[in-house]
Amino acid sequence: MSTTAEVRRLTTPQDLFQAAAEEFIRAANDAVAQRKRFAVALSGGSTPRSLYTLLAANASPSLPWDRMFFFFGDERHVPPDHPESNYRMANEALFSKTPIPAANIFRVAGENPDASAAAGEYEKNIRDFFSAPAGEFPRFDLILLGLGPDGHTASLFPETQALQEKSRLVAANWVEKFKTSRITFTLPLLNAAHRLSFLVSGTDKAPALHEVLEGKAPGEEYPAKLVQPGAGQLIWFVDRAAASELSAAA
């Protein structure tokens, strides 16, 4: 595991979301103070919805909302109004309840029938935002990530092609078990971030979390292991249920 990884063990899911919300706000204020803007990539699935709801409920007017820019670490290959859309979930839980300017939200065009074209378009949007030329990996101020029971993160699933991507920022990744493509940040883009926060809650994640943090399996089988930021800070926010298979020392 990366030497920069920190595991914050919280008791309940509510404690986890509270701690993650505090880190989110700290990261936002630090980034705006140092770089005049906060560029964050949200994760999808079900776990982060509670974090987004908490951020919206405590949405302080003092937060620099107009300097905060929202991206997605991955997206399903569906339209933005589809029940499985990560954008739809974040819009319901956060964007629709906070004064974030619409121009500050960069969603993936999941409605594009050509997933590779959607990935290429998203990559261009990211490069344009950061003024990052080809060959350079932009540094997000914060990337939120989840952990699947199979050890995947973002849409980097075990033994899938996107795990091998070394130069692109965003890839269309065929996921055989779902018989669908996903659009996902690549490992070089994830690992360039200033900060990454994993949010892992629930007993069903305990075996994967143990393997990722303490096990010997290769990263191709547990892709979350491959999130190893060079100069970035990596924090795992885990609740007691998810941490139930970790050794006491971790």
Residue 190 C-beta: closest distance to ligand 6PG, Å: 11
Q: Is there a contact between 212 and 147 (Cβ–Cβ < 8 Å)?
A: yes
| Residue 167, C-beta contacts closer than 8 angstroms, at least 6 positions apart | 135, 188
Q: Candidates 146, 158, 223, 232: give the one binding ligand 6PG (CB under 6 A).
A: 146
Which has the closest alpha carbon to 66: 104, 16, 39, 31?
104
Q: Candidates 12, 46, 58, 116: give the one binding ligand 6PG (CB under 6 A).
A: 46
Phi, psi dihedral angles at 31 (to 5 degrees): -65, -45
Which window, 27-35, 44-52, 158-166, 211-219, contacts ligand 6PG (CB under 6 A)?
A: 44-52
Residue 58 C-beta: closest distance to ligand 6PG, Å: 21
Alpha carbons 126 and 128: distance in angstroms, whole number: 5
Rg of the chain, C-alpha, whole Å: 17
Residue 44 C-beta: closest distance to ligand 6PG, Å: 3
Residue 210 C-beta: closest distance to ligand 6PG, Å: 16
Q: Is 154 in the site for ligand 6PG (CB under 6 A)?
A: yes
Residues of this chain that bind ligand 6PG (CB under 6 A): 43-47, 74, 86, 146-148, 152-155
